[in-house]
Protein backbone atom coordinates (compact mmCIF):
# COMPACT_ATOMS: atom_id res chain seq x y z
CA UNK A 1 0.00 0.00 0.00
CA UNK A 2 1.51 3.37 -0.93
CA UNK A 3 2.31 5.70 1.93
CA UNK A 4 0.04 8.69 2.44
CA UNK A 5 1.83 12.02 2.54
CA UNK A 6 0.67 12.49 6.15
CA UNK A 7 2.08 9.19 7.36
CA UNK A 8 4.95 9.46 9.82
CA UNK A 9 6.73 6.28 11.02
CA UNK A 10 6.59 5.66 14.78
CA UNK A 11 10.21 6.74 15.31
CA UNK A 12 10.27 9.04 12.24
CA UNK A 13 12.61 6.74 10.29
CA UNK A 14 11.59 3.26 9.12
CA UNK A 15 15.04 1.79 9.86
CA UNK A 16 14.39 2.45 13.57
CA UNK A 17 11.24 0.28 13.66
CA UNK A 18 13.06 -2.70 15.14
CA UNK A 19 14.08 -0.53 18.11
CA UNK A 20 10.55 0.66 18.88
CA UNK A 21 9.68 -1.83 21.63
CA UNK A 22 12.86 -1.47 23.72
CA UNK A 23 12.86 2.32 23.38
CA UNK A 24 9.22 2.61 24.49
CA UNK A 25 9.86 0.33 27.46
CA UNK A 26 12.88 2.41 28.44
CA UNK A 27 11.47 5.90 27.96
CA UNK A 28 7.76 5.47 28.80
CA UNK A 29 5.72 4.05 31.71
CA UNK A 30 4.40 1.42 29.31
CA UNK A 31 3.93 -1.14 32.07
CA UNK A 32 1.56 1.26 33.82
CA UNK A 33 -0.45 3.11 31.20
CA UNK A 34 -1.19 0.31 28.72
CA UNK A 35 -2.62 -2.10 31.33
CA UNK A 36 -4.64 0.81 32.70
CA UNK A 37 -5.95 1.54 29.21
CA UNK A 38 -7.00 -2.11 28.89
CA UNK A 39 -8.65 -2.00 32.32
CA UNK A 40 -10.70 1.10 31.54
CA UNK A 41 -11.85 -0.38 28.22
CA UNK A 42 -13.63 -3.21 30.08
CA UNK A 43 -13.55 -5.60 27.12
CA UNK A 44 -16.09 -8.42 27.30
CA UNK A 45 -16.03 -11.83 25.53
CA UNK A 46 -18.63 -10.83 22.91
CA UNK A 47 -16.87 -7.59 22.01
CA UNK A 48 -15.12 -6.68 18.80
CA UNK A 49 -12.09 -4.47 19.51
CA UNK A 50 -9.98 -2.42 17.10
CA UNK A 51 -6.51 -1.16 17.98
CA UNK A 52 -5.91 1.78 15.62
CA UNK A 53 -2.22 2.28 14.88
CA UNK A 54 -1.35 -0.92 16.71
CA UNK A 55 2.34 -0.76 15.79
CA UNK A 56 4.12 -3.83 17.19
CA UNK A 57 0.89 -4.81 19.00
CA UNK A 58 1.97 -4.55 22.64
CA UNK A 59 -1.44 -3.08 23.53
CA UNK A 60 -3.28 -5.41 21.14
CA UNK A 61 -1.75 -8.46 22.80
CA UNK A 62 -2.64 -7.16 26.26
CA UNK A 63 -6.27 -6.77 25.19
CA UNK A 64 -6.47 -10.25 23.69
CA UNK A 65 -4.73 -11.78 26.72
CA UNK A 66 -7.16 -10.04 29.08
CA UNK A 67 -10.20 -11.35 27.19
CA UNK A 68 -9.27 -14.29 24.91
CA UNK A 69 -12.80 -14.75 23.54
CA UNK A 70 -13.08 -11.18 22.26
CA UNK A 71 -12.45 -10.52 18.58
CA UNK A 72 -9.37 -8.29 18.50
CA UNK A 73 -8.09 -6.55 15.36
CA UNK A 74 -4.94 -4.49 14.94
CA UNK A 75 -4.51 -1.92 12.18
CA UNK A 76 -1.37 -0.04 11.19
CA UNK A 77 -0.06 1.60 8.03
CA UNK A 78 3.51 0.36 8.56
CA UNK A 79 3.90 -3.19 7.27
CA UNK A 80 7.27 -3.60 8.99
CA UNK A 81 5.63 -2.91 12.35
CA UNK A 82 2.82 -5.34 11.49
CA UNK A 83 5.35 -8.05 10.67
CA UNK A 84 6.80 -7.64 14.16
CA UNK A 85 3.28 -7.62 15.61
CA UNK A 86 2.36 -10.88 13.88
CA UNK A 87 5.51 -12.59 15.15
CA UNK A 88 4.74 -11.45 18.70
CA UNK A 89 1.16 -12.70 18.46
CA UNK A 90 2.25 -16.06 17.07
CA UNK A 91 4.86 -16.47 19.78
CA UNK A 92 2.24 -15.70 22.42
CA UNK A 93 -0.21 -18.14 20.84
CA UNK A 94 -2.83 -15.42 20.38
CA UNK A 95 -5.17 -15.26 17.39
CA UNK A 96 -5.30 -11.63 16.28
CA UNK A 97 -6.13 -10.30 12.84
CA UNK A 98 -3.82 -7.58 11.55
CA UNK A 99 -4.64 -5.22 8.68
CA UNK A 100 -2.51 -2.68 6.86
CA UNK A 101 -4.36 0.60 6.41
CA UNK A 102 -4.68 4.23 7.37
CA UNK A 103 -6.36 5.43 10.55
CA UNK A 104 -8.33 8.04 8.62
CA UNK A 105 -9.62 5.51 6.07
CA UNK A 106 -10.61 2.47 8.11
CA UNK A 107 -11.38 -0.65 6.02
CA UNK A 108 -14.31 -1.75 8.20
CA UNK A 109 -18.11 -1.46 7.95
CA UNK A 110 -20.22 0.99 9.92
CA UNK A 111 -20.97 0.15 13.56
CA UNK A 112 -18.76 -2.95 13.58
CA UNK A 113 -16.71 -2.52 16.79
CA UNK A 114 -17.67 -2.27 20.46
CA UNK A 115 -14.36 -0.73 21.48
CA UNK A 116 -11.68 1.22 19.65
CA UNK A 117 -8.34 1.79 21.37
CA UNK A 118 -5.33 3.82 20.31
CA UNK A 119 -1.93 4.34 21.90
CA UNK A 120 0.54 7.06 20.89
CA UNK A 121 -0.95 7.45 17.43
CA UNK A 122 -2.93 10.69 17.18
CA UNK A 123 0.09 12.92 17.71
CA UNK A 124 1.58 11.53 14.49
CA UNK A 125 -1.32 12.92 12.46
CA UNK A 126 -1.92 16.38 11.06
CA UNK A 127 -4.85 18.31 12.54
CA UNK A 128 -6.97 17.51 9.47
CA UNK A 129 -6.14 13.82 9.65
CA UNK A 130 -6.93 13.72 13.37
CA UNK A 131 -10.40 15.00 12.50
CA UNK A 132 -10.76 12.42 9.72
CA UNK A 133 -9.52 9.64 12.00
CA UNK A 134 -11.94 10.48 14.80
CA UNK A 135 -14.79 10.61 12.28
CA UNK A 136 -13.81 7.16 11.02
CA UNK A 137 -13.57 5.76 14.54
CA UNK A 138 -17.01 7.19 15.31
CA UNK A 139 -18.34 5.57 12.14
CA UNK A 140 -17.07 2.04 12.90
CA UNK A 141 -18.16 2.09 16.55
CA UNK A 142 -21.53 0.66 17.48
CA UNK A 143 -23.98 2.83 19.43
CA UNK A 144 -22.88 2.71 23.08
CA UNK A 145 -19.38 1.79 21.88
CA UNK A 146 -16.35 3.37 23.48
CA UNK A 147 -13.08 5.00 22.43
CA UNK A 148 -10.03 4.65 24.70
CA UNK A 149 -6.89 6.63 23.91
CA UNK A 150 -3.43 6.98 25.39
CA UNK A 151 -1.41 9.85 23.93
CA UNK A 152 0.55 12.97 24.76
CA UNK A 153 -1.59 15.38 26.74
CA UNK A 154 -1.65 18.99 27.85
CA UNK A 155 1.58 20.36 29.29
CA UNK A 156 0.48 21.83 32.62
CA UNK A 157 3.93 22.79 33.89
CA UNK A 158 7.07 24.38 32.49
CA UNK A 159 9.06 21.19 33.04
CA UNK A 160 6.58 19.06 31.10
CA UNK A 161 6.42 21.65 28.32
CA UNK A 162 10.20 21.64 28.00
CA UNK A 163 10.37 17.84 28.08
CA UNK A 164 7.80 17.61 25.28
CA UNK A 165 9.98 19.72 22.97
CA UNK A 166 11.98 16.58 22.18
CA UNK A 167 8.86 14.84 20.88
CA UNK A 168 7.88 17.92 18.90
CA UNK A 169 11.29 18.14 17.25
CA UNK A 170 11.01 14.50 16.17
CA UNK A 171 7.32 14.32 15.23
CA UNK A 172 6.74 17.92 14.18
CA UNK A 173 5.35 20.96 15.99
CA UNK A 174 2.25 21.19 13.77
CA UNK A 175 1.26 17.54 14.34
CA UNK A 176 1.75 17.63 18.10
CA UNK A 177 0.30 21.05 18.91
CA UNK A 178 -3.24 19.71 19.47
CA UNK A 179 -1.87 17.37 22.13
CA UNK A 180 0.30 19.82 24.05
CA UNK A 181 -2.49 22.42 24.05
CA UNK A 182 -4.91 19.90 25.55
CA UNK A 183 -7.27 19.98 22.56
CA UNK A 184 -7.88 16.23 22.17
CA UNK A 185 -10.98 16.10 24.44
CA UNK A 186 -12.52 18.97 22.49
CA UNK A 187 -11.79 17.18 19.22
CA UNK A 188 -13.42 13.99 20.54
CA UNK A 189 -16.54 15.95 21.43
CA UNK A 190 -16.62 17.70 18.05
CA UNK A 191 -16.46 14.29 16.37
CA UNK A 192 -19.72 13.39 18.12
CA UNK A 193 -18.47 11.56 21.20
CA UNK A 194 -20.07 12.07 24.58
CA UNK A 195 -18.93 11.54 28.18
CA UNK A 196 -15.40 12.58 27.18
CA UNK A 197 -12.97 12.30 30.09
CA UNK A 198 -9.26 12.48 30.78
CA UNK A 199 -8.95 9.47 33.08
CA UNK A 200 -5.26 9.54 34.01
CA UNK A 201 -2.09 11.59 33.52
CA UNK A 202 1.55 10.53 33.72
CA UNK A 203 4.70 12.64 33.93
CA UNK A 204 7.35 11.11 31.68
CA UNK A 205 10.84 12.11 30.60
CA UNK A 206 9.34 13.11 27.23
CA UNK A 207 6.38 15.07 28.54
CA UNK A 208 2.81 14.56 29.79
CA UNK A 209 1.00 11.38 28.80
CA UNK A 210 -2.78 11.25 29.23
CA UNK A 211 -5.46 8.57 29.00
CA UNK A 212 -8.89 9.44 27.63
CA UNK A 213 -12.22 7.75 27.20
CA UNK A 214 -15.33 8.71 25.25
CA UNK A 215 -18.62 7.09 24.27
CA UNK A 216 -20.80 6.97 21.19
CA UNK A 217 -24.39 7.64 22.23
CA UNK A 218 -27.06 4.96 21.97
CA UNK A 219 -29.24 7.51 20.18
CA UNK A 220 -26.95 7.60 17.13
Which CATH architecture group holds 27-37+45-215?
3-Layer(aba) Sandwich (3.40)
15 has a pLDDT exceeding 50: no
Residue 219, pLDDT score? 75
Distance CA 111, CA 114 (A): 8
For residues 194-219, average pLDDT = 95
Distance CA 52, CA 39 (A): 17
pLDDT digit string, tens, across residues 123-139: 999 999 999 999 999 99
**Cβ-defined contacts of 23-31 (< 8 Å, 24+):** 24/58, 24/120, 27/204, 27/205, 27/206, 28/204, 28/206, 28/209, 29/202, 29/204, 29/209, 30/58
Residue 141, pLDDT score? 98
pTM equals: 0.89
pLDDT digit string, tens, across residues 101-111: 999 999 999 99
Amino acid sequence: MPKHRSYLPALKYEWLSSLYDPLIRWMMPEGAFKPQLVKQARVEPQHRVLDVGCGTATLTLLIKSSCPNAEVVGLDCDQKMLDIAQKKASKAGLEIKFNCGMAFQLPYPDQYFDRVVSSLVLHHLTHADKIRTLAEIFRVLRPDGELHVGDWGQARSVSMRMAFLVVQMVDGFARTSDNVQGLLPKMFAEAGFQEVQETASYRTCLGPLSLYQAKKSLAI
